[in-house]
Each structure stands twice: as C-alpha cells, then as structure tokens.
Amino acid sequence: MKVHDLKPAPGSTKAKRRVGRGIAGKGGKTAGRGTKGQGARDTIPKGFEGGQLPLAQRIPKLKGFKNPFRVEYVVVNLEALDAFPGDEINPETLRARGLVHKHGMVKVLGRGELTRALRVSAHGYSKSAADAIIAAGGTVEVIPPPFGNGRPPAKGNALTNR
C-alpha cells in the first residue's frame, strides 16, 4: 500500500472547517478571505453584476407586450344596419354614412334586432349577427382581408428597431 492508495473509511465524514474563531488556529483572523477588498466584506448586494447595469434595471418597466400582428376591426351592430337606408351594405356605404372609421376592416356584431332583408358585405361577423341577417332573409358575404390569409404586416415599434 502506498500513500496515494489511502482514503477515508466508508461512511466517515470530515468536520466542517470553523473559520473566524480567533487567531489560534487555521482560519483565524481573516478567515481565508484575504486582506481587505470587496471579497473580504459582506457588502455585495444580491443581483450585483460588477458595476454593469443590473438585469432588473435593463428590462422594460411596463409588463406585457403589444402584439404587432393584431387584427383590429371597426364594429357596427345590427341596430345600426336596421336603420340604414338601402338594402346593399358594404364598408364603402358604411363609411359614406359615417357609421365606421375611414380605415380598418369592418365586423358586424349582433346587438339589436334586424327587421328586413339586407345584403351585407363585411370582413367579419359574429355568429349571432350572421344568423340574424340570414334569419331576416338577407345574405352574408365575407370580404377577404387586404393582407391575404396569412398574418397582417407588423406595425408599431417592432419595425423601427430593425
């Protein structure tokens, strides 16, 4: 048997080194921390990154994000369509009467009653609105979105950072 073959007995444990208990033995005085300096003291705050701006300050303060690909509609309800003169309703006629904004896709929602048959063309319908128009004897036509069937083009700050 040689010195490099020696090892502790199975199951034995080594006592933890007790430092900072006076100058009488190993680990006294500076307790293995060297002399002075940041590492010798207990003053490094949690999250300190050596003077670099910490992560908590680098990230934006407002929560969440704004989806740049969100599809937004301008809405019109059945009660407005019922009071609309004429039987043919599409985004152009609604804009001419001032019922919807001049930009954006039009979606018909189901609030109110429909008492006459109308031919309605819009970009989207709620289920109740489409059912009410068909029940009144009218027709529903879905206009495809101007950006095709994929997702819309990005808008907002997502474009300025590239």
Q: Can you give the CATH number for the domain in which 125 is found?
A: 3.100.10.10
Does residue 152 belong to any structural domain of this protein? no
Residue 87: pLDDT above 80? yes
pLDDT at 129: 94
Q: Which domain holds residue 124?
A: 73-142
Rounded mean pLDDT, 6-34: 88
- Among candidates 65, 93, 97, 81, which has minimal Cα distance to 138? 81
pLDDT at 62: 73
- Among candidates 147, 149, 159, 154, which has minimal Cα distance to 67? 154
Does residue 19 belong to any structural domain of this protein? no
- Among candidates 114, 118, 154, which has minimal Cα distance to 138? 118
Does residue 79 belong to any structural domain of this protein? yes
Does residue 91 belong to any structural domain of this protein? yes
Residue 67: pLDDT above 70? yes
The tally of domains found in the chain comes to 1
At 43, the pLDDT band (50, 70, 90 cuts) reads confident
Rounded mean pLDDT, 31-42: 86
Does residue 106 belong to any structural domain of this protein? yes
Rounded to two decimals, the pTM is 0.57
Per-residue pLDDT tens digits for 106-136: 999 999 999 999 999 999 999 999 999 999 9
Does residue 85 belong to any structural domain of this protein? yes
Does residue 18 belong to any structural domain of this protein? no
Does residue 156 belong to any structural domain of this protein? no
